[in-house]
Amino acid sequence: MPPGEGRKGDVTRREVLGSDHVDKAARATTAFDAPFQELVTSTAWERVWSRPELSRRERSMLTIALLAALGHWEELAMHIKATTNTGATPEDIRETMLHVAIYAGVPAANQAIKVAKTAYNDMGIDV
């Protein structure tokens, strides 16, 4: 059984990112990175994303802001695509990017907006 499968973290990860993404990650997992996959599933997805204090929409917006601020473009695109599952709208993400521009810098927000537009385009969403 792939790391985390059948547990709360795996369920949450699938609900947010989609089963196709999680299944692809599981197929790519080797003995080398299995401990990392387990760590991510049990901490990020079970201990943080599964908490009831913030909505999935709010967690999505926070995650996107942090990824944009840190310049993690591939992860940012993945989480933009996950907004179809979290309820964060393109308008929510636009407002999130305005915060990124003020608190993390215009260059970070500028690149993040480009990544978001490409991700939305890939999803067939006109922004």
pLDDT in tens, 39-92: 999 999 999 999 999 999 999 999 999 999 999 999 999 999 999 999 999 999
Q: How many degrees, rounded to 5, is the angle at CA 21 between CA 24 and CA 18?
A: 145
Give the amino acid at 5. Answer: E
Banded pLDDT at 1 (limits 50, 70, 90): very low
Residues in the chain, total: 127
Phi, psi angle pair for 9, to nearest 5°: -60, -40
User: Of 38, 6, 34, whose CA–CA distance to 19 is shortest?
Assistant: 6
Residue with tokens 């393109």: 90
Gap between the Cα atoms of 125 and 15, Å rounded: 20
Average pLDDT over residues 1-11: 70
Contacts 24+ apart (CB under 8 A), 107-111: 108/68, 108/69, 108/71, 109/68, 111/68, 111/71, 111/73
User: Of 48, 112, 120, whose CA–CA distance to 16 is shortest?
Assistant: 48
What structural domains does the chain harbor?
A: 8-48 (no CATH), 56-122 (1.20.1290.10)
When computed from its CA atoms, the radius of gyration of the chain, rounded to whole angstroms, is 15
Q: Indicate whether 4 pLDDT > 70.
A: no
Position 6 scores a pLDDT of: 54
User: Of 101, 95, 93, 96, whose CA–CA distance to 125 is shortest?
Assistant: 93
The rounded mean pLDDT for the chain is: 95
